[in-house]
Chains A and B, each alone.
Chain A
Amino acid sequence: DAGVTQSPTHLIKTRGQQVTLRCSPKSGHDTVSWYQQALGQGPQFIFQYYEEEERQRGNFPDRFSGHQFPNYSSELNVNALLLGDSALYLCASSRLGGYNSPLHFGNGTRLTVT
């Protein structure tokens, strides 16, 4: 049973560029959440997708957008990259309903913006 998979594992981009990160949820999960983790910090919630729609959003600018596909996989897009966007981006999946379905995380995509 495959867990949450993310691609790519590492990425280097230049300021102003755009990036797309991909995530496949754990089998049986229908909800995908994205988190940003800066060095030495805990993960920060970006947004959550269910039924191909954004359900919840954290305190991130509109440069951060996402998409969920019919097969539940998801993409995170970041436009006009800033140096401060350098971080580990984590995807987590769960079944809608929360408490009995803890988040399962992928290994993340390490984004470096130069």
Chain B
Amino acid sequence: SQELEQSPQSLIVQEGKNLTINCTSSKTLYGLYWYKQKYGEGLIFLMMLQKGGEEKSHEKITAKLDEKKQQSSLHITASQPSHAGIYLCGADINGGATNKLIFGTGTLLAVQP
């Protein structure tokens, strides 16, 4: 079974709507990372969360980490076509700041104008 589960697998929203993507780990999280990927391209770093309860925002994207639930959420406010892409959560489950990340299978976001 997948160690990092993302939901939903895909999402279509109207421009201007809010949305949330979830990432749940079956193991203890030592660091949670959110990336965005355009099809066939590399991953663009969005945010990194290290501590339980931590919340970070950048422009219209907010990420939170619930350490007890071993879960993170990514929330986009007032979505725009530029937000379209694949969102991936990555986690260090080995501890020791190894930077050996496992990734979820991604959430494909489409934003309709």
Q: In the complex the two chains form, what is the Cα distance from A103 to B42 in whole Å? A: 11
Asked if A48 and B100 make an inter-chain contact with CB atoms under 8 angstroms apart, the answer reads yes
Task: List the B residue with the shortest CB-CB distance to A3.
Answer: B42
Enumerate A92-111 residues with CB–CB distance to B below 8 Å: 92, 94, 96-99, 101-108, 110
Tell me the interface secondary structure of chain B in the complex: loop
Asked if A42 and B106 make an inter-chain contact with CB atoms under 8 angstroms apart, the answer reads yes
Chain B proximity of A99: nearest CB distance (Å) = 5
Instruction: Tally inter-chain residue pairs, CB-CB below 8 A.
Output: 72
Asked if A88 CB lies within 8 Å of chain B CBs, one says yes
Q: In the complex the two chains form, what is the Cα distance from A98 to B4 in whole Å? A: 19
Asked if A99 and B31 make an inter-chain contact with CB atoms under 8 angstroms apart, the answer reads yes
Contact bitstring B81-95, A, C-beta under 8 A = 1, else 0: 000000010101000
Asked if B41 and A33 make an inter-chain contact with CB atoms under 8 angstroms apart, the answer reads no
